[in-house]
Amino acid sequence: MNDRNIISDFRELDATDPVACDHFFEKWGAGQSLAKSHMPYERLEAYRHVLGICKKEDKDKYMVAHKGTAFFFCALSLFDLKYFESSIFYFTAALAEDRRRSGSVTLVDYIFTPAGQILSLNHSGKWARFTTDFIDAVRYFIEKFNTQYGTSHSIEDFVQKFVHPMLEDERYSIITSFYSFILDYKEKDRNLRLAGGAIDSTEPILVNLFKGALIFETILKHYYPRDDSGIRITTLGRFSKNSNFVADFSGVKLSIYTNALQDILDDIVDYSTKTTLETTARIRNTTGHKLTWDNVFEDPDNYTKLFEQEVFAILNVITAQW
């Protein structure tokens, strides 16, 4: 790759022509292996190198140019590297480029763009290798949820009744954060078990659990935004003032505080809706304030236990709307 040639081509590029921009990044990028992961780091750095050169050469032109192709391939490479948060960041950046390209303000018309296809769990097309990993991660917990609660929800239900409405309502962060939360768990759980729970810093685990609790709170505020007096709900304890929430989750109290993670674990007696919601609220009210909590993760199963409580709490709130 010759930087001078890249600069020369970029100078001649019509930045207002999205097709020409796609061809430019296809020419100077490293492509992507469809069948299996192959040199993802090198592919990622190749695209970021080209992007960096172009931005340095002419920032204004760079901002005009359609960069969806480059961002999408960055996302795929990061996914293969299992850097899921960064991967999803680039998927959404690619989608934003596609939306900017057409001047659209909604996502619904772009479900079948490459990035939209993956984020909406559309399994058709040549990017199915990546979509499969998203689908499998979500399906695993939906099936566990069904077993626990005697329900029969499907991945299609999840997409049609939750993903699509959220994306069409431009609540992108709710969807993308849920995906990265689920995908990151598998990696963190694997790492924790390989370490035998012998870790001096619990920060990676706590941050993941806090993220799950924050997703839970965000979804609650989406479905139950105000109390019965019309005041916007800002704290978990305030949901008891929303009659729809009370009707959906009778007896649930979300304002319970704790002094230790072990206390939360000790109080998990089952996977009932009440327990999962209250446990997740307690995780939110602990991990959201500091990182120096008791290390309960010397037993890796404790991470799984808390994580599953959060996932079930999230799914309980979501499916209550169906």
Entry pTM: 0.92
**pLDDT for res 168:** 80
Structural contact between residues 138 and 156, judged by C-beta atoms closer than 8 angstroms: no
- Secondary structure (3-state) at 226: strand
70 C-beta neighbours (distance < 10 Å), count = 27
Other Cβ atoms closer than 10 A to 264: 24
Q: What is the pLDDT along the chain (322 residues), one digit of tens a residue?
A: 689 999 999 999 999 999 999 999 999 998 877 778 889 999 999 999 999 999 999 999 999 999 999 999 999 999 999 999 999 999 999 988 988 877 665 656 667 788 888 888 987 777 888 889 899 999 999 999 999 999 999 999 999 999 989 888 778 899 999 999 999 999 999 999 999 877 888 999 999 999 999 999 999 999 999 999 999 999 999 999 999 999 999 999 998 888 899 999 999 999 999 999 999 999 999 998 888 889 999 999 999 999 999 999 999 999 999 9
Which amino acid belongs to residue 159?
A: V
The predicted structure's pLDDT at residue 109: 66
Question: Is residue 85 a contact partner of residue 35, using CB atoms and an 8 Å limit?
Answer: no
The pLDDT score that the predictor gives to residue 106 is 61
pLDDT at res. 193: 94
The CA distance from 59 to 66, in Å, is: 13
HSE (CB half, 13 Å, CA atoms) of 252? 30
**How far is Cα 115 from Cα 222, in angstroms, rounded to an integer?**
24
User: Distance of CA 33 to CAs 19, 36, 84, 114, 159, Å?
Assistant: 22, 6, 18, 15, 27
How far from each other are the two terminal CA atoms of the chain, in whole angstroms?
52
Q: What is the pLDDT of residue 108?
A: 60
Question: What's the pLDDT score for residue 105?
Answer: 54
Structure token digits, residue 7: 């600069």
Q: Can you say how many angstroms the Cα of residue 112 is from the centroid of all Cα atoms in its chain?
A: 19
Cβ–Cβ under 8 Å, residues 107 and 170: yes
pLDDT given for residue 112 in this prediction = 74
